[in-house]
Amino acid sequence: NAGVMQNPRHLVRRRGQEARLRCSPMKGHSHVYWYRQLPEEGLKFMVYLQKENIIDESGMPKERFSAEFPKEGPSILRIQQVVRGDSAAYFCASSPGQVSEAFFGQGTRLTVV
């Protein structure tokens, strides 16, 4: 059973471009969480999704950021018109249910130049 897979591991974008980060949860997991981490800081919650539904997006900026978890395929975190301040590591975690252990992927490191 493969772990949580995130790709790409590293992503470089110029200011104004779009960034698409993918997260394939562990097999059998229908809950996905996205977190953002700046260097030397802790993980900050962004959004919680179940299949086809956004449950909690209270940690996600209102503009330029969106997330989805379609019925088929990976969860996508999309950042439009990236700015330098978006540079960070983005981690996703998955769990089989609400009251369950969460397992993390290796993260995508986004660098905006």
Q: Among 13-21, 41-49, 62-70, 73-81, which window interacts with another protein (CB under 8 A)?
A: 41-49
Q: Among 15-23, 35-43, 60-68, 78-86, which window interacts with another protein (CB under 8 A)?
A: 35-43
CA distance 14 to 20: 13
Q: Which of residues 63-92 bind another protein (CB under 8 A)?
A: 91
Does 107 help bind another protein (rule: CB under 8 A)? yes
Q: What are phi and psi of 86, to 5 degrees?
A: -80, -10
Q: Of the candidates 15, 18, 28, 56, which one interacts with another protein according to CB under 8 A?
A: 56
Binding site for another protein (CB under 8 A): 4, 6, 33, 35, 40-45, 48, 55-56, 58, 91, 93, 95, 98-107
